[in-house]
Structure 1
Amino acid sequence: MHRTMFDTPILKTLLRWGSIAFLKLAGWKSVGSIPPDLKKCVMIAAPHTSNWDLPFMLMIAFVLRAKIYWMGKEQIFKPPFRGLMMWMGGIPVDRSKANNMVQASVDAINSNEQLFLIVPPEGTRAKVTYWKTGFYHIAHNAGVPVLMGFLDYPNKAGGIAGVFHTTGDIDADMQAIQAIYAPMSGKKTGQ
């Protein structure tokens, strides 16, 4: 995978301390932790309702010392911001094409010694009734757990809600995962 701000010497330390300070001043708390032996996972970040989710997610990642990569729509990777977004851990996704992102993601996980790949389960910032299942198929096919990241704006909390191991029963697993997120709310109310 490409180099990011999470593996840039000196700067990653400064960004971590800056993230800790900003979140504390803003009244936010980091909740949960990443198991120390976890090297690969699909991380979901929900609920996803605002453009503010990205900076808060990145700050929480620095606090938790997680070197993450995240998927985002191709449009936010247009010049002159492409290099910056890639350095921030972004991976552009062209949603207008059927390009087998699930298999490409599985291959990326399998070919790296360590990879935390964030996939937003809603697939959009708009309110959705059903989550997309791409994250589930990536995790299950790669044989890695789902790390349940969250941002809960009303409680000013973000972090890790747990680790989920897929069973292959997608309906039951999706219900169990969504139940964990049910009490959490995004920045935009009603989402």
Structure 2
Amino acid sequence: MNKLLFNILKLMGWRIHEQQPDGVRKAIVCVAPHTSNWDFVIGKIAFGYYGIPTKFLIKKELFFFPLGILLRRLGGIPVDRKKKTNLTDQAVEYFSHYDDIFLVFTPEGTREYNPEWKKGFYHIAERAGVPIYLGFIDYKNKTGGFDGKFEPTGDVDGDILEIKRRLVKYSGRTLTNGIRPEEV
């Protein structure tokens, strides 16, 4: 099935970068820009092409029948955003439950323009002791994939800015959203 979906993507003119995290079994993947629901479809096909088992956190309100069954099969983990539990603790715990897991985050937290990125992915990676890889979907050039590993320095705000600098070159489906050059 993954090969079929990948070939459909290829027929639509898309290319997936061959570079991927070799030998890595657990990681955080920070994907940007996130400007369309199509990002999910293209991203899942790309991760399937790489053979990488991905999970993603998504609001629990979307886990109604029958959509909930599909979301779980695709790697969705329901999150109660109104509950006062520590999401970082929950996410760190997932890494102890799986031998192979790439937990995918879109730090913009929305498909709209948002210069204030959520920082949970960063803290989860630190606490779980897993690497951060940068992912992208570039609609302008119809490419997607990994933009390498990111090495955190401990300066969260400075590191978020550096991640934006690395990913600003990629265009989201909605050009007015995503990372803007004046941010970096």
Q: State the partner residue of 2:121.
A: 135
Please tell me whether the aligned partners of residues 108 and 117 of structure 2 are also in contact (alpha carbons under 8 angstroms): yes
Please tell me whether the aligned partners of residues 19 and 60 of structure 1 are also in contact (alpha carbons under 8 angstroms): no
**Unaligned stretches of 5+ in structure 1?**
1-14
Q: State the partner residue of 2:137.
A: 151
Q: After TM superposition, where is structure 1 displaced by more than 6 Å over at least 4 residues in a row? A: none
Deviations 1:96-120 (A, max 9, x none): 2332111111111134322111121
Match of 1:184 among 170, 175, 180: 170
Shift of 1:84: 0.9
**Unaligned stretches of 5+ in structure 2?**
178-184
Moved more, 153-162 or 67-76: 67-76
Match of 2:71 among 85, 89, 92: 85
CA distance in 1 between partners of 2:38 and 2:96 (Å):
31
CA distance in 2 between partners of 1:131 and 1:182 (Å):
14
CA distance in 1 between partners of 2:141 and 2:160 (Å):
24
Q: Secondary structure at the match of 1:55?
A: helix
Taking structure 2 as the reference length, the TM-score comes to 0.90
Q: Write the mapping of 1:67-86 to structure 2, written as runs, cut at 5 A.
A: 67-86=53-72
Taking structure 1 as the reference length, the TM-score comes to 0.87
Q: State the partner residue of 2:90.
A: 104
- Residue 73 of structure 1 aligns with an amino acid whose one-letter code is K
- Residue 156 of structure 2 aligns with an amino acid whose one-letter code is I
Shift of 1:133: 0.2
Deviations 1:138-181 (A, max 9, x none): 01111111111111111101110111122212122111111111
Q: State the partner residue of 2:181.
A: none
